Amino acid sequence: MNNQQLEKIRHSTSHIMAYAVREIFGNDVKFAIGPVIDEGFYYDFDLGEITISTDDFKKIENKMTELIKQKLPFIRTEVSIEEALKKTNDQPYKQELINDLSTKGETTVSFYKVGEFEDLCRGPHIESTKELGNFKLLKLAGAYWRGDEKNKMLQRIYGTAFATKDELQKYLIALKEAEQRDHRKIGKEQELFFIDDTIGKGLVMWQPNGTIIRNEIEKLAIEMEDKGDYKRVVTPHLAKEELYLTSGHLPYYKDGMYPAMVMDDGTYYLRAMNCPHHHMIYKHQMRSYRDLPLRIAEYGTVYRNELSGTLAGLLRVRGLAMNDAHIYCRKDQIKDEFKAVLDLTLKYFEIFGLENYYFRLSKWSKDHTDKYINEPANWEYSQNVIKEILDEAKVDYVEADDEAAFYGPKIDIQFKSIIGREETMATIQLDFLAKERFKLHYTDTDGKDNNEVFVIHRAPLSTHERFTAFLIEYYGGIWPTWLSPVQVRVIPISEKFIDYAKAVKSKIKDSKIRVDIDDSNESLGKRVRNAEKSKIPYILVVGEKEQTDQTVAVRKRTDGDQGSKKIEDFILDIKTEIENRK
């Protein structure tokens, strides 16, 4: 079945769900919108004082099944704006949509009727409900009308539908797996992070275990960037209004920034992007052609004024630390620098064992030049160069015409996560505009001032927040040894061997390996099971034999019992594994 037909099934099921809600909760229900989304559909309702709960799902599903079995046709009609307003005189949300269409020049709108339920809808739909039946209601959420927190909070019901029962069952099994891998669930179980309303929505508190993972990822980035001759910097978390006027963030991105702070020496904003600060570092001193390319890197923290209703664990937050860097180069260096960033990104993915991704090259359009900076020669040159890089790398990619940023072409790296969600993991963006806005220059080989400074924005490891969420779900909370908050747990057989266990721990810790001891009063079997449940990579059991021989009994998470090893041999083996980031 093609995607278009599946969308029809899901859209039609959304209408049947709305029909069922009206039948159960009465004619006073106010209907908002009910679109198809990637994994199914939803519908937003205003039920006044009535609150729907998941306990109502069975009742709604039963009513949907009853309606579907009647093999009702979907009948489309087209009416004038005036007639549409009359038909929806008790539906304020529909009337608002109709009036919007009218202001855009529409003179007619379409409705779809199924049974006794008629809804404003562009369509298309299936012919009859006989094609439906394989559906499931999934969850509830609150949603502001039109995503605006100034508007009323509506009740949203999410569901999904498929053409066959088998497809539905496979999806529900995958969904259950996704729930088990949810980064919020695992993050709580493993004490990685939390978000507290007392501090603020979308502001992440990293606990010790989560901070270890975050630090290890940043350590990797620092090592790799050092090899790539990046220069690390640290810049302020805020700046004056003038900086963001120069960059263009004000006024165009003002809604995404935190409100202004008026001080005695000017107006300040929390930064939403690192690039303006890095541009100022570039222009702080004269640059020669010999200085280029200049690669400036920073795990810079930025702040986004996201609506509270859109926040989602680590995936969408208000404070985020970005694996950011900006490369300042000449036109003839674009290919080498873009290629180096792509190679670095692929190396990261190899280290983390990430698969199932593709690249999307977003280009300009000659037919819509009003949308883009007026540098056609640079557009053509850079897009051809980037395409050559992707071809030479032999990676899977698609081209997206007329989807570039205003200021240059870009590559997005799209991942299909382990739980089936597609998301953009990293972006490599070429920028023609910064040189104009910030008056970036260098002295060329003839000693002349040259303003053709091209900027490459890149963040291959995304943000700490988003990337950690992705890794939690990808690994299912089973961290590779080099990332694991606790790499080794020492378990003495009885209290008689606690001193030896402490001596083993001390030797391991001296080798910069993260280790702890479980000397609780639980049975040996219970303590081993607890360590396994906590996904500890290595468990070392010590008793009389190990103390006498100065060894440890090794149990590896992935391979079970490994027998006895000298402490020094075990340390050498695990250090090699950690250093190689296997």
Q: What is the DSSP string of 318-365?
A: SEEEEEEEEEEE-GGGHHHHHHHHHHHHHHHHHHHT--SEEEEEE---
Alpha carbon separation from 374 to 368, 377, 384, 457, 548 (Å, rounded) = 11, 9, 17, 20, 78
Considering the domain delimited by 3-174, tell me its CATH architecture. 2-Layer Sandwich (3.30)
- Identify the residue with better confidence: 496 or 418: 496
At residue 29 the predicted structure's pLDDT band, cuts being 50, 70 and 90, is very high
Is the pLDDT at 195 greater than 80? The verdict is yes
From CA 31, how far away is CA 145, in angstroms rounded? 11
pLDDT (0 to 100) of residue 419: 65
Residue 275, annotated as binding a ligand? yes
pLDDT (0 to 100) of residue 1: 58
pLDDT (0 to 100) of residue 367: 80
Q: Which residues contact 96 (CB under 8 A, 6 or more apart)?
A: none
Q: What class has domain 488-579?
A: alpha beta
Tens digit of each residue's pLDDT (9 = 90 or more) over 204-225: 999 999 999 999 999 999 999 9
pLDDT-wise least confident of 148-157, 287-296, 475-484? 148-157
Is the pLDDT at 422 greater than 90? The verdict is no
* β-pair partners for 410: 362, 429
When the pLDDT of each residue in the chain is averaged and rounded to a whole number, the result is 93
What backbone phi and psi angles, to 5 degrees, belong to 96? -65, -40
**Contact criterion met (CB below 8 Å) for 568 and 504:** no
Section 49-57 average pLDDT: 93
Is the pLDDT at 125 greater than 80? The verdict is yes
pLDDT (0 to 100) of residue 231: 97
pLDDT (0 to 100) of residue 371: 83
pLDDT (0 to 100) of residue 405: 86
pLDDT (0 to 100) of residue 579: 95
Residue 329, annotated as binding a ligand? no
Tens digit of each residue's pLDDT (9 = 90 or more) over 18-28: 999 999 998 89
Tokens of 198: 């007392």
pLDDT (0 to 100) of residue 19: 97
Domain spans in the chain, listed from the N-terminal domain onward: 3-174, 193-235+274-475, 239-270, 488-579
How far does the chain reach from its first CA to its final CA, in angstroms?
40
Indicate the pTM of the whole model.
Answer: 0.83
From CA 176, how far away is CA 185, in angstroms rounded? 13
φ/ψ bin of 7: left (φ > 0), alpha (ψ from -120 to 50), beta (otherwise): alpha
From CA 72, how far away is CA 368, in angstroms rounded? 45
**Contact criterion met (CB below 8 Å) for 562 and 555:** yes
* Cα 38 off chain centre by: 15
* β-pair partners for 154: 143
Give me the helices (H) in 150-234, please. Answer: 165-181, 183-189, 208-227
Residue whose entry in the numeric block shows the structure tokens 């950011």:
324
Residue 284, annotated as binding a ligand? no
Tens digit of each residue's pLDDT (9 = 90 or more) over 355-382: 889 999 999 888 887 888 888 888 999 8
Angle (CA) 146 141 302, round 5°: 70
Please check whether the domain covering 193-235+274-475 is classified as CATH 3.30.930.10: yes
From CA 371, how far away is CA 365, in angstroms rounded? 9
From CA 111, how far away is CA 98, in angstroms rounded? 11
Is the pLDDT at 92 greater than 90? The verdict is yes
Section 430-450 average pLDDT: 93
At residue 174 the predicted structure's pLDDT band, cuts being 50, 70 and 90, is confident
Tokens of 357: 């991704």
The DSSP symbol for 182 reads -
Residue whose entry in the numeric block shows the structure tokens 């809808």:
121
Tens digit of each residue's pLDDT (9 = 90 or more) over 55-91: 999 999 999 999 999 999 999 999 999 999 999 999 9
Is the pLDDT at 445 greater than 70? The verdict is yes
Section 296-303 average pLDDT: 95
